[in-house]
A and B are shown apart, each in its own frame.
Chain A
């Protein structure tokens, strides 16, 4: 099939970018542990640190003054909607991964709910190649659990695992795998290739027609409520299933206080469960829906202030393993309408790190430092996705996937200025802390001076 043309893509088929053709010397960067060092990037790896790196200073290498900047392992997103193939009006692999690079990411997991659905080796390989050709980040396709996200029979999980895309994360995200037998089979089946099922926990019968959190605000606004129990009951079922069959299960976009309690209980019991929270669930509450603005319509919905506090505490204490963006771009016509008929979802790649800094690092009521940022936004998601060369320590010999962030700067969120092809950010008009200054993917600078640097020959 031929993908529709897009203003953001060259259309030309380009071989995988040569990596490590540039050398960079990063001076005076602050590591997550608070110490400072110089870093020499050469041949796609961190070639030297400390004095040995500093000594390369006069060899003509490009230098970057990172005084006051924090260096993080390149961020890894386990939950991104790149929309290609099928909805190139909302986002393409190229536009979405460029936005990801500007957000500090070096790896994103592309969700399977494309058109056609990523439920075959062919589609996941297509997405994987588009990502490789774009060259902004490592694109790791997520495979659908069931054929067409239909919830009726398993997709060819083994074929996707064995494909060039080496899929390890499987999800029907957008739809819950609600059939308990099918969920059990999926959990068992992926053990053969060390895969994981990422569950979109939403009991469908309890959420028919639901558009926002069920509670005080929905009662007043007359919008159909999405009760917390619809999420919690599926998580409770699935951790017990994972325990029973000895599999690992990942919970997508956990959003309620009750869900945090269930995952905490499951971990204490030794169940192999991991969980993610989105940036928007760390910062926003259902009070934001009062203006009926569909920019605040998302699934699972924005919850109460108590839920926000619980997920922040859960992230700080390790109950919730990772932050994942659930970046969900939509064209403006799908948001410039009545709340009931608007699409669910928010963009997030370019605001995620800033929102985590705002809601966690700068917050007084939770303990959360830069090592926690590196863990929850890089090493832990890479480990869940089995992406072995991402999320590595900032150390000699490690791949040069790095992000430099200026924690002291604040920047205004202007939807049109974001690089994602869609404008549906819930943070429009806010000023957020922490601008990504530079991103290195395999030693190549994808972002310098907060500006994306395309590969030569690609628009």
Chain B
């Protein structure tokens, strides 16, 4: 594994190895001194072309706890509007001695271009690209599910038989795409629940089921429900928006009190954040005992430590395979 560009590139064995490594990393984070030495002397660049405080901080914390030096480079808007090309920006950072690049970019495929165009030769980690992929989010979600649903037997296991509902704006969501790919690889069963306007043409070929009916999907039973963030701009897009009103969206696709009850107390309530309380998720659901939303954030650091360690730690033979 040289880069981490897409959850789709991971085999079951590679994914389980990352989750297992993340578990080891998480254990070290219970100690009083959290810092570990393996990336000492290495420089990691956070190359963020899109605002994302939480993902950037999570990667920064992960890299620093592995003793790497971290350079944060944030360029708002597209590289073109900024005047410098992605190629020049990346080559500049490599010239300054970057050993690895973590990239968040509004254009789908930008990390893939960075990794495959011959512009730079460092490992590239995709921290979210357009509507395409967000593989570390999928990994932290899978880690959170595995830890809560498998408990002490988690190490070495996948998510075979686990039923997951992913609810909301699938069309614009890299979180949904990454999760469908990784959860499928790990043996889980995924159902996407969304209004038809927020599903991409072509979704019928994805390895998952699709439903327009959240109550019906919940009635089928679920071990975890993942609520996707609804962006405000989706309500005023071309054609008058993707759904009639926030109220109607919330009534049909929001996780409210009744749906929380219908899920039962054992189903995990998840959200990649930031949440729109009262739109896709009620405060009651977000703050419920079965919500693991904050734990997702915590696990994000451990999963990103695992990825950084496996890509930059210098023991490539240990992780095997190529992405």
Q: Bound complex: CA of A224 vs CA of B130, how far in Å?
A: 10
Is A313 positioned at the interface, with any CB of B under 8 Å from its CB? Answer: no
**Stretch in B92-100, B111-119, B307-315 touching the partner:** B111-119
Determine if A338 and B177 form an interchain contact, defined as CB atoms under 8 angstroms apart. Answer: no
Among the listed A220, A222, A291, which residue makes an inter-chain contact with B116, where contact means beta carbons less than 8 Å apart? A291
Determine if B109 and A341 form an interchain contact, defined as CB atoms under 8 angstroms apart. Answer: no
Q: Bound complex: CA of A333 vs CA of B87, how far in Å?
A: 10
Among the listed A208, A214, A222, which residue makes an inter-chain contact with B108, where contact means beta carbons less than 8 Å apart? A222
Q: Bound complex: CA of A336 vs CA of B79, how far in Å?
A: 12
A214-B201, A341-B107 in contact; A222/B79 too (CB < 8 A)? no
Is B282 positioned at the interface, with any CB of A under 8 Å from its CB? Answer: no
Interface members, chain B 232-268 (any A CB < 8 Å): 238-239
Pick the most buried of A227, A336, A338: most chain B CB atoms within 10 A of its CB: A338
Determine if A336 and B200 form an interchain contact, defined as CB atoms under 8 angstroms apart. Answer: no
Interface of A is mostly: loop
Determine if A338 and B107 form an interchain contact, defined as CB atoms under 8 angstroms apart. Answer: yes
Q: Bound complex: CA of A340 vs CA of B110, how far in Å?
A: 9
Determine if A221 and B205 form an interchain contact, defined as CB atoms under 8 angstroms apart. Answer: no
Is B202 positioned at the interface, with any CB of A under 8 Å from its CB? Answer: yes
Interface members, chain A 192-217 (any B CB < 8 Å): 205, 208, 214-217
Among the listed B85, B174, B239, which residue makes an inter-chain contact with A337, where contact means beta carbons less than 8 Å apart? B85
Is A339 positioned at the interface, with any CB of B under 8 Å from its CB? Answer: yes
Among the listed A216, A291, A338, which residue makes an inter-chain contact with B205, where contact means beta carbons less than 8 Å apart? A216
Give B114's nearest chain A residue, CB to CB. Answer: A338
Is B62 positioned at the interface, with any CB of A under 8 Å from its CB? Answer: no
Shortest beta-carbon distance from B75 to chain A in Å: 13
Chain A residues within an 8 Å CB radius of B177 = 220, 222
Determine if A337 and B79 form an interchain contact, defined as CB atoms under 8 angstroms apart. Answer: yes
Determine if A338 and B110 form an interchain contact, defined as CB atoms under 8 angstroms apart. Answer: yes
Interface members, chain A 202-259 (any B CB < 8 Å): 205, 208, 214-225, 227
Q: Bound complex: CA of A292 vs CA of B202, how far in Å?
A: 18
Determine if A336 and B85 form an interchain contact, defined as CB atoms under 8 angstroms apart. Answer: yes
Determine if B205 and A219 form an interchain contact, defined as CB atoms under 8 angstroms apart. Answer: yes
Chain B residues within an 8 Å CB radius of A221 = 108-109, 132
Is B73 positioned at the interface, with any CB of A under 8 Å from its CB? Answer: no
Residues 190-218 of chain B, each 1 if its beta carbon lies under 8 Å from chain A, else 0: 00000000001111011000000000000
Chain B contributes a number of interface residues (CB within 8 A of A) equal to 31
Is B219 positioned at the interface, with any CB of A under 8 Å from its CB? Answer: no
Pick the most buried of B85, B86, B117, B200: most chain A CB atoms within 10 A of its CB: B200
Is B80 positioned at the interface, with any CB of A under 8 Å from its CB? Answer: yes
Q: Bound complex: CA of A458 vs CA of B117, how far in Å?
A: 39
Determine if B113 and A338 form an interchain contact, defined as CB atoms under 8 angstroms apart. Answer: yes
Among the listed B79, B105, B206, B238, which residue makes an inter-chain contact with A205, where contact means beta carbons less than 8 Å apart? B238
Determine if A208 and B238 form an interchain contact, defined as CB atoms under 8 angstroms apart. Answer: yes
A218-B200, A222-B132 in contact; A340/B205 too (CB < 8 A)? no
Residues 72-86 of chain B, each 1 if its beta carbon lies under 8 Å from chain A, else 0: 000000111000011
Q: Bound complex: CA of A223 vs CA of B107, how far in Å?
A: 8
Pick the most buried of A224, A291, A340: most chain B CB atoms within 10 A of its CB: A340
Determine if A337 and B109 form an interchain contact, defined as CB atoms under 8 angstroms apart. Answer: no
Q: Bound complex: CA of A223 vs CA of B112, how far in Å?
A: 13
Determine if A215 and B202 form an interchain contact, defined as CB atoms under 8 angstroms apart. Answer: yes
Chain A residues within an 8 Å CB radius of B60 = none
Q: Bound complex: CA of A214 vs CA of B108, how far in Å?
A: 15
Shortest beta-carbon distance from A343 to chain B in Å: 11
Determine if A218 and B202 form an interchain contact, defined as CB atoms under 8 angstroms apart. Answer: yes
Shortest beta-carbon distance from A417 to chain B in Å: 20
Q: Bound complex: CA of A336 vs CA of B132, how far in Å?
A: 20
Q: Bound complex: CA of A216 vs CA of B85, how far in Å?
A: 29
A337-B80, A338-B109 in contact; A222/B202 too (CB < 8 A)? no
Q: Bound complex: CA of A291 vs CA of B116, how far in Å?
A: 9
Interface members, chain B 109-161 (any A CB < 8 Å): 109-110, 112-113, 116-117, 129-133
Among the listed A222, A227, A333, A337, which residue makes an inter-chain contact with B201, where contact means beta carbons less than 8 Å apart? A227
Q: Bound complex: CA of A214 vs CA of B200, how far in Å?
A: 9
Determine if B202 and A219 form an interchain contact, defined as CB atoms under 8 angstroms apart. Answer: yes
Chain B residues within an 8 Å CB radius of A341 = 78-80, 107
Among the listed B86, B116, B129, B202, which residue makes an inter-chain contact with A217, where contact means beta carbons less than 8 Å apart? B202
Q: Bound complex: CA of A378 vs CA of B235, how far in Å?
A: 51
A215-B201, A221-B132, A341-B78 in contact; A336/B87 too (CB < 8 A)? yes
Chain B residues within an 8 Å CB radius of A337 = 79-80, 85-87, 113
Pick the most buried of B108, B203, B239: most chain A CB atoms within 10 A of its CB: B108
Q: Bound complex: CA of A333 vs CA of B174, how far in Å?
A: 28
Among the listed A217, A222, A227, which residue makes an inter-chain contact with B133, where contact means beta carbons less than 8 Å apart? A222
Give B199's nearest chain A residue, CB to CB. Answer: A219
Shortest beta-carbon distance from B104 to chain A in Å: 13
Given A214-B202, A222-B174, A337-B79, 12 new contacts (CB under 8 A): A215-B202, A217-B202, A219-B201, A222-B129, A222-B130, A223-B108, A223-B131, A291-B112, A337-B85, A338-B78, A338-B79, A340-B110
The 10 closest A-B pairs by CB, nearest first: A219-B202, A292-B109, A222-B132, A222-B131, A222-B108, A340-B107, A219-B200, A338-B107, A216-B202, A338-B110
Q: Which residues of B contact A (CB under 8 A)?
A: 78-80, 85-87, 105-110, 112-113, 116-117, 129-133, 174, 177, 200-203, 205-206, 238-239
What would be 12 A-B contacts, judged by CB atoms less than 8 Å apart?
A: A205-B239, A214-B202, A219-B205, A220-B202, A220-B205, A222-B109, A292-B109, A337-B85, A337-B113, A338-B109, A338-B113, A341-B80
Q: Which residues of A contact B (CB under 8 A)?
A: 205, 208, 214-225, 227, 291-292, 333, 336-341
